[in-house]
Structure 1
Amino acid sequence: MQALQENKMGVKPVPSLILSMSFPIMLSMLVQAFYNIVDSMFVSHYSQTALTAVTLAFPLQNLLISVSVGTSIGVNSLLSRKLGSRDLAAAKKAAGNGLTLSVLSWIFFALIGLFLTKPFISFFSSDPELILMGTQYSTVCLFFSLAIFIDITCERIMQGTGDTFHPMIIQGTGAIVNIILDPILIFGLFGFPRLGVLGAAIATVFAQHVSAALAIYYVKKNKEIKLDRPSFRLEKQTVKDIYAVGLPSIIMQAIGTILNTSLNKILIGFGTAAVAVFGIYFRLQSFIFMPIFGLNSGMIPVIGYNYGARRPKRIISAVKVGIIVSLSIMSVGFAVFTFIPHILLGLFNATDEMMAIGVVAMQRISLCFISAGFCIVLGALFQGTGDGYISMIISVTRQLIFLLPAAYLLGHFVGLDALWYSFIIAETSSLALTIFFFRRVYVKKIKTLSA
């Protein structure tokens, strides 16, 4: 009788559990990847200056998202572990503290939006129009960012309790609202004023508020977690436990901004076509990698719950299912990037120079897809057991110690075509580190659960 009352993460067959929890997240992430491409297309059709302004504002947005996603991953991991160990009071505290931390994070970024966006954009250019557009976009997106903090945290709370369906609805609704509003507010359709970049920013934050309203509604209806006023009061140990997993995730995502900026700086030495090709690759690969990150998000609460419940067999089973799904998706991605890169590039109206660079780039970078998928899945194990710092170590090593130096050296001494091999060098090192840490976590934390 007790087993029937237990959360599905402790009793449902693992293969169907992983797929049922991960698929909605994977689908919503694909929708988000599609939106990112469409959004850039609308802005680029307004003007090249508008696209440049939004591009310059991206590092600030990426930092904001890094903090919100990283904190919510910490909440997700702690919440699922406490549910697994039947400590419902601690689980409720994790959710409430997570929302409080989201509000505090918003205040920090709202101040940045008010006082630092113009100096930040001015650092890149002295063009008055570009500074105005970039400042408008950044200020609106940062000052009104409370919605995205609340939305992301609520979604992770739901995922931590095993609910991945409603987060899919929330993300999908937000993306659709944004896609609809973008052309209306940017180009002034249906009697609305032509607002350009400001319109794109307003569309973004309006869609985020729609998502946040839905997220709050569904969290209130969640049967596993019933929040009350005391749960929002910050508790030192709870905050520490959240950031034990969350801070490494924040650092990992923030490093991505450093990586992309640095790679663009290296590639610009080979001409704008090389930068354009990398930009196209980065957008296209999201359709392959986003589902794997969705799989990762679906696995974390399952691993965390069963770690808290001391069920090592279900943890290993979850990892095995994740590896099979990940390698299947990455194999398809590898085949597509290897055999039809010219078709992919043609979708972006690539010039002959871009086509020559891009075919080589995509074929070589795709060689590391399968190993990357393996590493992402094992990253869910580290985060689910509360060892988020391991993922941070692997990420820093891959991107800053191996990828960037290798890209610079190969590009400088051999040439552009050789530069793309730096991705393979980086993923090989990442794979070796991931296997090393997996064996360590398995022996010290997973194997001892059955003792």
Structure 2
Amino acid sequence: MATADSSVILSAPIVPTLRKMTIPMIFGMIFLMLFNLVDTFFISMLGTEPLAAISFTFPVTFTVISLAIGLGIGTSAVIATALGAQSTNQARFDGGVALVISAVMVLALSAVGYLFTEEIFLLLGAKAHLIEIIEQYMHIWFLASVLLVTPMIGNAVLRANGDTKTPSIVMGCSGLVNAILDPILIFGFGPIDAMGVQGAAIASAISWILGVAAILYILTRQRNLVTLRCPSQSFAVATRKILKIGLPAAGANMLTPIAMAVMTAIVANFGAPAVAAFGVGSRIESIASLVVLALSMTLPPFISQNFGAGKHERVRSAYQQTLKFVMVWQFAIYLLLLMVAPFIAAAFADEQQVSDLIQLFIYVLPLSYGLQGVIILTNSSFNAIHKPMNALILSIVRLFVFYVPIAYLGSLLADLTGLFVGAALGNLFTAVIAYYWFSRGLQCTEVKTQELTP
């Protein structure tokens, strides 16, 4: 099992340790991203309108997922820091509390979404004739959302303990189940009637149920990594620790779908084909950035444990070496996307206009994915050293000072081409700020530690 215990994380060579932790996560992320891409692919076969309808759901579903991601970040940071300080029982209790509060909070947010589905999507710019399709998908998705959050938090507990193989297996199995069920439920098979977009939502819910069963068995019966009993800490104290990091992290993550909603509304001005192409492009972005996303899950536990043990130089080295790798890797991915762009467009679009716009997206925006990786990893590193407000501010600056405003200005000057170029420039400006801010903040932390050391 790809488990990196505290002694390895705190003392072993940095690059091999991060590589050992990250490679299993990459395979898990491939299946997780294919989970969403498979949905998009099969729904695209229903026509442009269903594809456009589902594209409108991305910002909303990602808002709920962002809350779960934020709580997972808080969970991982708190547990990993406790493990670095050799407080094992406290770490187990933090994990149990995280599972409970995340389920409650996601249920509350999804309930609001369920009750106001029509109003939300009309505000996002969806046309009235698309609302019925959107509701068919989202009503089931909202009801099943708690089944999504539990495996996400459970995986955060495992990663905080240095185990990245098990989360990748859980994610991979869920993605495989979804891929098998999608065409059966969307188009029908044998005695099963075709359900359209509703079938895609049901397929997701079934795959999440299996994920919940697997993760709870692993955490409680197999590994004994969570508990709701701890004589040295109350439920309220553990909740405050997790939410202190988790809520700002969730807020930072929620800004992304809010910005995506604004971007979708801007793109909607160019018609349904543009929205459909933008939705496909967003899914491509997830796949193209999967190594960055995997690192954003494995770098924070490494940083948190070393930060908790006072090993700041290992934190700095891990951060810098990871960013160098990401810049080179993402440029190679961009070159690959340039070569396969026509084939990707043909796979996801029947209409020539949609195909052309998908290729336009690929030619421009992925060039900045390395810079976007710098931003993502800096955000996760801020959370790992318990500076969640820095991560939140960085997200605000990126999305609402640079990304959206410059993209909007670009759309006014050069239509969709200008929008994509503007978004790429937003990533550039924010990446520069992110790198110098984290490096400076870590240096200040080191100086304060040295001053307090006798």
**Residues 345-424 of structure 1 correspond to what in structure 2 (within 5 A)?**
345-349=345-349, 353=353, 357=357, 359-424=359-424
Aligned pair in 2 of structure 1 residues 360, 210: CA closer, same or farther (>3 Å)? closer
Displacement after TM superposition at 1:97 (Å): 1.6
Aligned pair in 2 of structure 1 residues 210, 89: CA closer, same or farther (>3 Å)? same
The answer on whether the counterparts of 1:136 and 1:197 sit within 8 Å (CA) in structure 2 is: yes
Q: Where does residue 209 of structure 2 map in the other structure?
A: 209
Kindly, what percent of the aligned residue pairs are identical? 22
The answer on whether the counterparts of 2:6 and 2:84 sit within 8 Å (CA) in structure 1 is: no
Aligned-partner residue type, residue 195 of structure 1: M
Q: Helix, strand or coil: the match of 2:195?
A: coil
Q: Where does residue 151 of structure 2 map in the other structure?
A: 151
Q: Where does residue 25 of structure 1 map in the other structure?
A: 25
Distance across 2 between alignment mates of 1:360 and 1:140: 33
The answer on whether the counterparts of 2:95 and 2:226 sit within 8 Å (CA) in structure 1 is: no
Q: Where does residue 314 of structure 2 map in the other structure?
A: 314
Q: Where does residue 246 of structure 2 map in the other structure?
A: 246
Displacement after TM superposition at 1:96 (Å): 1.8
Aligned-partner residue type, residue 371 of structure 1: L
Distance across 1 between alignment mates of 2:145 and 2:277: 31
Q: What CA deviation, in whole Å up to 9, does each residue of 1:43-98 have, x standing for no partner?
A: 23345554444344444322211111111111001110111011223312321221
The answer on whether the counterparts of 1:66 and 1:250 sit within 8 Å (CA) in structure 2 is: yes
Displacement after TM superposition at 1:20 (Å): 1.4
Aligned-partner residue type, residue 293 of structure 1: L
Q: Helix, strand or coil: the match of 2:335?
A: helix
Aligned-partner residue type, residue 335 of structure 1: L
Q: Where does residue 173 of structure 2 map in the other structure?
A: 173
Aligned-partner residue type, residue 335 of structure 2: A
Q: TM-score, normalised by structure 2?
A: 0.88
Q: Where does residue 438 of structure 1 map in the other structure?
A: 438
Aligned-partner residue type, residue 444 of structure 1: C
Displacement after TM superposition at 1:167 (Å): 0.4
Q: Helix, strand or coil: the match of 2:191?
A: coil
Asked if residue 304 in structure 1 is aligned to residue 304 in structure 2, the reply is yes
- Greater shift in the superposed pair: 49-58 or 370-379: 49-58
Q: Helix, strand or coil: the match of 1:145?
A: helix
Distance across 1 between alignment mates of 2:348 and 2:223: 46
Displacement after TM superposition at 1:351 (Å): 5.5
The answer on whether the counterparts of 1:100 and 1:234 sit within 8 Å (CA) in structure 2 is: no
Q: Where does residue 263 of structure 2 map in the other structure?
A: 263
The answer on whether the counterparts of 1:154 and 1:216 sit within 8 Å (CA) in structure 2 is: yes
The answer on whether the counterparts of 1:96 and 1:232 sit within 8 Å (CA) in structure 2 is: no
Distance across 1 between alignment mates of 2:232 and 2:145: 20
Q: What CA deviation, in whole Å up to 9, does each residue of 1:326-378 have, x standing for no partner?
A: 12321212222445544443443475555655555433323323322233333
Aligned pair in 2 of structure 1 residues 321, 51: CA closer, same or farther (>3 Å)? same
Q: What CA deviation, in whole Å up to 9, does each residue of 1:110-155 have, x standing for no partner?
A: 533653335545764544xx54443342222222322212111111
Q: Where does residue 35 of structure 2 map in the other structure?
A: 35
Distance across 2 between alignment mates of 1:407 and 1:96: 42
Aligned-partner residue type, residue 317 of structure 1: S
Aligned-partner residue type, residue 169 of structure 2: I
* Structure 2, unpaired ranges of 5+: none
Aligned-partner residue type, residue 72 of structure 2: S
Aligned pair in 2 of structure 1 residues 221, 299: CA closer, same or farther (>3 Å)? farther
CA RMSD of aligned residues (A): 2.9
The answer on whether the counterparts of 2:188 and 2:194 sit within 8 Å (CA) in structure 1 is: yes
Distance across 2 between alignment mates of 1:43 and 1:191: 21
Distance across 2 between alignment mates of 1:57 and 1:268: 13
Q: Where does residue 115 of structure 2 map in the other structure?
A: 115
* Structure 1, unpaired ranges of 5+: none
The answer on whether the counterparts of 2:154 and 2:219 sit within 8 Å (CA) in structure 1 is: yes
The answer on whether the counterparts of 1:18 and 1:321 sit within 8 Å (CA) in structure 2 is: no
Asked if residue 10 in structure 1 is aligned to residue 21 in structure 2, the reply is no
Aligned pair in 2 of structure 1 residues 158, 189: CA closer, same or farther (>3 Å)? same
Distance across 2 between alignment mates of 1:90 and 1:277: 47
Aligned pair in 2 of structure 1 residues 111, 364: CA closer, same or farther (>3 Å)? closer
Distance across 2 between alignment mates of 1:231 and 1:214: 28
- Greater shift in the superposed pair: 164-173 or 414-423: 414-423
